[in-house]
Chains A and B, each alone.
Chain A
Amino acid sequence: MRHLNDGLLRLSVDEPRLVSEGQHVHLRECMACQRRRWEISASAGRVSRLLVEGVQYVDAQAALASALRKARPEAVRRGRPLAAAASAIRAAHRRPVALLAATLAVLSAGAISGLAQDLVTLLAQPHRAVVVPVAPGDAAGLAALADYGTISYSAPPLTRPASSAQAAEAEAGYAPLVPGAIAMGAPESVSYRVTPAYTVTFTFSAEKARAASQRRHQPVVPMPADIDGASLYVDVGAIVYAEFGSAAGGPPLLGTARMKTPIVRSSGVTIKRLQDYLLSQPGISPGLAARIRGIDDPAHTLPIPVLSTDARPEPIEVQGVAGSLLEHTAAAGTVIVWVKDGFAYGVYGSSSVGDLRAAAESAH
């Protein structure tokens, strides 16, 4: 049989199942073809390391609004509410101080840290919240876990502005968190937003995991048979935000978020087993795995991922329960989170740590 050409050898690197049995036999027996295949595979690996730098998350809903606006402006003006909501989401993501809002919004959109939240949380009835700093490199690894299966939503996780506190409460089913004391003075503006409740379902697939690892030319820990086809469900409660700022606009001086604590369920395999499998994947750094595994009382702790290279969470007490405070020097903001009576709460902003602690302590 003639030697395999470069195209077939390249195919055998990525999709060996598409190579015929006769060609496989030749490849097993021909040293020249094996050597050439190794060279081609090495070249593909080098190119892959340079080119595989995917976009980790896109907000399709906001992008659709933008595309429709460009294509047919009157459609948006006539009654598509997407543009306003998209703008609110984008604004939240752009404000570096809105850390918690961003985290929860990201969670609600199923993005990187949200996916981390979805996939690594060991929740039953969480009694406390802990901030888990996630470095950008780890975030990429977590995002790559999305390729290990299929993610779906019961409803589009879209955050919408609400016209008033009452309107926000009517949509979420519970009122926004309001600080009793705002030490920085009377706010000149307040706005409300709501992300309705929804369920995220992630179904594991050994075939997808294998294909993803081949695409990236990375080794992959084989997916155990009992995990292949197993599903993880995350019931995310409605999230209601209130943000207080100056009349001049800009980032909020103080914001609050309130949500029902998420409930994580699985089918086919225990959540602990899924966590162990995911944390052993090549894209997850030992540091992040250790931080997640090191959470005390994981069955009752809600980890809140925050993208950060320098953040150091600090345990604090808020309203008589354990909470977590994170000063994010890069974003010049602070986040305080806690869980109480079946709800997760957050206070965040660019005010001083003391002011934010006072706001959290007095919030109701």
Chain B
Amino acid sequence: MQPCERASRDADFERLFHAEYARVVGVAYQTIRDRQEAEDVAQEAFIRFHERYPPDASFAAAWLCRTAANIGLTRLRSRRRREHRELDHVRGARYQLVDPEEVLEAREQRRLVRDALRRIAPKKARVLALRYSGLTYTEVAAALGIRPDQVGTLLRRAEAAFEKELDRAALE
């Protein structure tokens, strides 16, 4: 690649990064619920994209969101590292959340949510991550490669499965 082409591609990539980074972090966060790791996931998605596709690809935003959801869900399933980090987070936040019961409640709720997301089918977890990170039905459809009118059905099934698993996790 010529230096001028490379510079142009870098500039396009930077524009893409600034335009989509917050949203991609939001998608990743919905899966792993850890701010620092969500940023790691988002950066990994951008790096993969950068290695494979031109930054002006029309599918860039949808691809990044889907990939972030996939990486996040994969990491969610290797829970040890995540929970270790969360413990550090809670320790670090002990002065902010002054009420110990509040700390425990927050931890417990995060654990229940994570367990439920881990147990439902990846396709359902993906649609929850995409929708609840703020994507519209059209954007969710683009990220999943389905029609917008199919999103409602998929989302409804995912929410039902999530609630069911949440109830089960609460009983354990």
Which residue numbers of A lie inside 8 Å of B, CB to CB?
A: 5-11, 14-15, 18, 40, 43-44, 46-48, 50-55, 58, 60-61, 63-64, 66-67, 70-71, 75, 136, 211, 215, 309-310, 329-331
Q: Smallest CB-CB separation from B112: which chain A residue?
A: A50
Is B70 at the interface (CB under 8 A from chain A)? no
Contacts of B42 in A (CB 8 A): 63
Is B4 at the interface (CB under 8 A from chain A)? no
If A7-B152, A67-B47, A330-B96 touch, does A50 touch B109 (CB 8 Å cutoff)? yes
Q: Smallest CB-CB separation from A50: which chain B residue?
A: B113
Contacts of B154 in A (CB 8 A): 7
B14 in contact with A54 (CB, 8 Å): no
B137 in contact with A18 (CB, 8 Å): yes
Which of A50, A53, A67 is the one whose CB lies under 8 Å from B43?
A67
A55 in contact with B109 (CB, 8 Å): no
Is B54 at the interface (CB under 8 A from chain A)? no
> Could you show 20 A-B contacts with beta carbons less than 8 Å apart?
A6-B153, A7-B149, A7-B150, A7-B156, A8-B152, A10-B153, A10-B159, A11-B149, A11-B151, A43-B163, A53-B29, A58-B22, A58-B39, A60-B17, A60-B21, A61-B18, A63-B43, A64-B17, A67-B47, A309-B96
The docked-state distance in angstroms from the alpha carbon of A11 to that of B137 is: 9
Report B145-165 residues with CB < 8 Å from chain A CB.
148-157, 159-160, 162-163
A54 in contact with B29 (CB, 8 Å): yes
If A47-B162, A64-B17, A64-B21 touch, does A309 touch B98 (CB 8 Å cutoff)? yes
A6 in contact with B156 (CB, 8 Å): yes
Contacts of A70 in B (CB 8 A): 43, 47
A43 in contact with B98 (CB, 8 Å): no
Q: How far is the CB of B122 from chain A (nearest CB, A)?
A: 16
Main secondary structure of the interface of A (DSSP, over half): helix
Contacts of B26 in A (CB 8 A): 54-55
- The size class of the interface chain B forms with chain A is 35 or more
Which residue numbers of B lie inside 8 Å of A, CB to CB?
A: 10, 14, 17-18, 21-22, 25-26, 29-30, 33, 35, 38-39, 42-43, 46-47, 50-51, 95-96, 98, 109, 113, 128, 132-134, 136-137, 148-157, 159-160, 162-163, 166
Q: How far is the CB of A190 from chain B (nearest CB, A)?
A: 28
The docked-state distance in angstroms from the alpha carbon of A18 to that of B42 is: 31
Contacts of B51 in A (CB 8 A): 71
Which of A6, A7, A47, A54 is the one whose CB lies under 8 Å from B163?
A47
Q: Smallest CB-CB separation from A211: which chain B residue?
A: B136
The docked-state distance in angstroms from the alpha carbon of A215 to that of B137 is: 11
Q: Smallest CB-CB separation from B160: which chain A residue?
A: A43
If A11-B137, A43-B159, A64-B18 touch, does A51 touch B98 (CB 8 Å cutoff)? no
If A7-B153, A55-B29 touch, does A14 touch B160 (CB 8 Å cutoff)? no
Contacts of B98 in A (CB 8 A): 309-310
Q: Smallest CB-CB separation from B116: which chain A residue?
A: A50
The docked-state distance in angstroms from the alpha carbon of A48 to that of B155 is: 12
Q: How far is the CB of B5 from chain A (nearest CB, A)?
A: 14
